[in-house]
Structures are given as C-alpha cells and as structure tokens.
Amino acid sequence: MNRVIVIAILLFFQSFTWAQEYEQIIAKENIVNDTFFNKYIIEDKFRWLEDINSTQTKEWIEYQNQMSKVYLTKASNTTNSYITIDNYAVTEFRYTKKMGNYYFHYAYYNAHATPALFFQSSLNGDGAVLVDPNFISLKDNITLNGYSVSKDSKLLAYRFSRNGSDWNEIKVISLQTGLHKEDHLTGIKFSNIEWMGDGFFYSTFSQDAQFGETKGQRVFYHTIGTDQQQDKLIFERKNNLSLLFSYLTSSDEQYFILNEKNVQTEIMNIFYIDYKSDNPSIKPLITNQKSDIDVLDSHDGKFIANTLHDSNNGSIVEIDPANPYKWRAIAPGFSEALLLKAIPFKDRIVAIYQSNQRPIITIYDYSGTILFTLTMPMGSSVKGFSGNSSDEEMLYYYTSFISPPVVYKFNIKTFKKQLTTQTKASFTIDDIEYKEVEYLSKDSVAVPMILVYEKGIKLDGKNPTVLKAYGGFDIVEPPTFDPGIVYFIKSGGIFAFANIRGGGDKGIKWAKAGKGKNKQKSFDDFIAAAEYLINNNYTSKDKLAATGASNGGLVVAAATIQRPDLFKAVVPVVAPLDMLRFEQFTAGHWWIDEYGTVKDSVSFTRLNNFSPYHNVKEEINYPSMLVVTSDNDDRVPPFHSFKFVARLQGRSAQKNPILLRIEKNSGHNGASTWTSSVREEADIYGFIMNELMKK
C-alpha cells in the first residue's frame, strides 16, 4: 500500500478516535458454569480473560488501553490534571536512613528511570550512587525493594524485582569498594534480609505458573561467597498453605527469632536460636498463642516484644527465654491509643501510638517509665524511624495527605529534634484545613472520618468530593503525601478518608468487626460515609467520587455495586473483584481469614453476595468507572479487573463510561518512574474531576 495512503488512513482513524467521547466495548462471552455444594450453579461469562497470554486476551487488552488512553488524555487536558500534579509532585526533601556506619536514601536522577540507592558517610552532602537499578537489565523494569547492611558495615544486600513482580532477587555489594560480589539469589518473595556473621537469612517460596498458588515458604541462611544451592535450610513446614514465617536477628547477633503464624486460625508459634549457646539449634520459645506477638530485639539476654490482642491495643513486654510464659510488662496497653510501632535502643524504647487520628511519639526506659511524649497534628503520620541500637539519635519523617515529608533528627536522651534539611514544595498548605468527624454506620456504630479541604469552603452540597478507604487485614493506613489529593483540594474539592472496620485503626476488635463473617460491615461503613457526606451538604450524589486500592478497591467496587445511586465516579485500583476464585491464585489462600472461602457453604454464600463481579445487575447504569490494574500484578492478578470491566461493559443498560487502565511492566504497587507515577495520578484524578464536572 502506498505510504501516503497509510499515513492518511492513520490520521483519519486518530482524529475519528479522538472525537469519540466513549465507545461501549462488547467482549465475547464464553460461559463456564461452576457448581458449588451440588446446589449452586454460578455462571462465569469471561473466564477466558484469565488467560492473559492468549492472542484474543491480548487483543482485547490492547483495545481497552487504546480507548481509555484517548478518554483519559482528553480528561487530563480538560482538567489540567497532568501539568498541575506534575508541578505539585516536585518537592525537595531527602529521607535518609541510617544503617551501620552509613546513611542511605532513594532518589530519582531521571524522570524516566526508577529510583537509585545513594549512600554517604554523614548526613551532609548529596551522597553517591551505590545501586542503579536502571543498569541491572536492558529489557526489564527493575525496582529496588529493600536493603540491609551487615553488622560490620562492610556489605549491603539488596532486593530487587522485575516489572513490579512480588518475586525478588538479592545481590550483594561492598560498601568499601562499590563492587558487587558474585552472590545472586533468586526465588525470593515476601522476604526480609537479616544479617548474622558472614551471611544473612532470607526466605523463598515455590509457585506453579505466573498466577499459581504461592506456597512452601522456606527460610535459609546464605554465606557470602557461596552458591545459593549450598545455603543452609533453617526452617520449613510440609504441606501447609496457611503458615507464614517472619524472622529477625538481634542487634547483638546472639539470637535468630522466627514467628510462625497460621493466617486462618491466627495461632502463633515463636522459635529461636541462641548462637552463644554450646549447641546452637532452633528451639520453641512460645507455642499456640492467640495473641499477636512481635519480637523486636534482645536486651540483656531477654526479648523485647510488642503484643496485640482483644483485651488491649498493644503493649510492650519483656520475655525471658528461661521463663517464656511469664512476661514483664514494660508499657501497658491503652484503651484509647493504638500501638503502631516500638523501636528498642540501648536504654530507651521509642513507641509510636495513634489516638483520635493523631500519632504520638513516646519514650520509655526499660523499667516502663514514660520519659517523653510528643503528640502530632490530626491526620498526619510519622514514619521511617532509623538508627542503630547503640545510637542516641534517630531519624524519622513527618507527613500527611497534603504535606511532603519533613525529616527530623531526634535525640532520645535530650528529646531535642532538629530539622535535617528544609522541605521545599511548589504550593502552600496554609489555606487547607483538616476536620475529624464521626458518623453512624448501618448498625449504629460510630466510624471516624477525616475531611481535608480549603478554608472557607461553602457547604452547599455542590462540592466535588473524593471518598477513600482501605478497611482490611488489620492494617492501619497512615496518611501519606499525595500530589493528586493536593490537586483535587486546590481545584475546590473535598478529600475524605473513612477509617472503616476491617482496618486496624482502632485496634484488633475494630479489625475483626470488618473481616470474615463481618466483611459486609466494611462495605456498610463505606456506604454510610457516602450518605453522611451527602446528608450533611458536603457534596451530592452527582459530585461524589470513590477510590481505593487493593482491599480498598474491593470496598469501593462492592459499595458501588450495592449502592450505585450514591456515586458519580468510581476508581478501584488493583482490586480483588472475583471473590469466588481469588483463593486459587498467588497469595489468595492467605486471605481466607479476611474474606472467607468457597469451600465452606456459609462462607460461599457471603462471598457470592458481595463479590463485585458476580453481583452486576443487567438493568443498572452504574456510575462512571475507571478500573486500574497492572499487567504483571502477581498479588492480585489483573484478570480480576479484566472480567469485572467486561461484565460491566457488555450490558445495554450501561451508558456511563467504563474504562480499564492497565499499567504496563508493573505490579501491585503500580507505576515506578517519576513520569509514569505522575501520569497514573493525573489519569485517576483527571478522570474523577472530569466526571464530577459534568452536568
């Protein structure tokens, strides 16, 4: 074909495509019927989309991406979201983390590259590049996921992944020469790196195919300079998919401590190795415990741990290996404050609590005396605590939804804090305020919610509003700086974050009240939050959007399917959406305690009643929706989103746009470079604002 004709056809097609506001996409149906308990027949029209490598799935994905890119680019241009968010994202700060004798930080040096790891011998100066992930592979998108320094500060082991996968590899580099060792470990997943002597502990899993079940965790010890095949197996269990291990080495290198938790029964066992004993071998410390016990370090030959159970919101205790069931309380649990974190130092313990959506830093001595307390503003968080156990100073940073991190050096003896570097931003937050409210859920339980907006905003029911939540896995979702939120608020919007049940924001009882047999209460809490915002004239159903990621994406999608009348625009991100099949893939079997299982008839009924994919109604025109996923998400496989979108799009009643955005060469955490991260934020908030501006 003549080259000029080809160009003309392409230009015509491009202009025609750009002219389209939204085109409904009808996916083919290939029905598979599943029978449960010889009674329930469940129809799955789009099972074929689970084969993400088939030609027809790839063609469907490509068409979805083309159509959503056109729509989202137009929305971004209309709302000016990309340029504005890109500007707000430019903040100058450096979170430096101390390990051993050195200071480390991640930094972008190129907008199209993933962050590199820098290191330096003091807090002053810019540091030098230690590990540049952009040179590890020419074909894969490499992301650094963590690092650990040997006790003598000579070596650093770091984890990295390819294309956003949860599967990691480990390499080792000399901090004295900057040269890599030959060590290269693979098959790493959900693993930390714990040094001891001339090597470190790590864990591996096995998995059948890309999205098969992740199983068979094994903990190994690797000696530097040896092949991975020679690594010593430290701990494993045969044929139990419900067990997960976590572990650490004590700062004095005397102990290796391993936690074994059954994620379905919540029973915990703790084992340890005393490397100063005559015959170091793994021994049980505490067995068959219902409490959540997290050993933090050793102090004078005893273990320091925090505990969390139904009767308190977290306490700090001392455990003597010689008498492990008789604990000495150092810091008791508080009814109105949740213990988030505890960091033992030589003669101090730093504890971080949360009370009424405010973080509190408290310093104890080992007798349990409170030496210092600092309460932070509502809607903020303190993170990134670092420092060696023998240090008198630690580093941490303060942040919020609209405040970039501010990094402090804090002396745990004098209690004086010092700003390390001035954080610079391209915007001001003096005109933005926080408000804490409580609303009643369906069962009359009071749920806390934080609202963020510009001062003096008029509550006339016409304000664009974004409602967000997480609400799962006992997780406390701390406020984190998000330039997209700044953009939305400065565009006249209200940002609302609801601390719904299922999350850990008010302790373990709060979490249990929204999981398993109570999971519907998470959705009820979210729905009640939307009703509160509408009934109290913050917004209206035509100005309200909802978004959430991972479990939060499930909450958003389930609430929308159950109450489509409440929302104008909805953005579920990397969400599990087919709740009858989630446990068959990757880490899904570890989520049974949170969601339930189709292997139990009562649990199956609950799952079938709230699974977003299975509860789409033929006759309903659901709100405008942007479903966001990543093509290499091997935690929540992308076909959850594929099937949900196909189901929504394939109905004649659907008039509002249903879009699918697929981040390429990425995993559960989404975009990784500066440019791709800004683009993702701009697409999400540009879509939301564009839909809320419509009449």
DSSP, res 624: E
Percent composition of the chain: helix, strand, coil (DSSP 3-state, to 5): 25, 40, 40
> Which candidate in 668, 672, 676, 677 is catalytic?
668
Token reading at 643? 């099937």
Q: CA-CA distance, 327 to 320, in Å (whole number)?
A: 7
DSSP string, 291-313: SEEEEEEEETTEEEEEEEETTEE
How many angstroms separate the CA atoms of 642 and 660, rounded? 8
* Catalytic residue (one of 150, 315, 400, 550): 550
Locus of tokens 């009240």? 513
**Burial call 43-69: b when 16+ CB within 10 Å, e when fewer:** ebbbbbbbebeeeebeebbeebbebbe
Beta strands in 92-179 (DSSP E): 97-99, 102-107, 116-120, 128-131, 142-149, 155-162, 167-174
Cβ proximity of 127 and 105 under 8 Å: yes
Residue 81 structure tokens: 């979201």
Closest of 387, 377, 373 to residue 356, by C-alpha: 377
Question: How far is Cα 246 from Cα 270, in angstroms, rounded to an integer?
Answer: 10
Long-range contacts of range 230-238, CB-CB < 8 Å, 24 or more positions apart? 231/185, 234/201, 234/258, 234/273, 234/282, 235/260, 235/271, 235/282
Residue 668 is among the residues annotated as catalytic for this protein: yes
The answer to whether the Cα torsion of 345, 349, 355, 360 is positive or negative is negative
Cα atoms in the 13 Å half-sphere on the side-chain side of 435: 16
Known catalytic residue: 222?
no
Cα first-last separation, the chain: 46
327-354: buried (b, 16+ CB within 10 Å) or exposed (e) per residue? beebbebbeebbbbbbbbbeebbbbbbb
Longest alpha-carbon distance in the chain: 86
Catalytic residue list:
550, 668
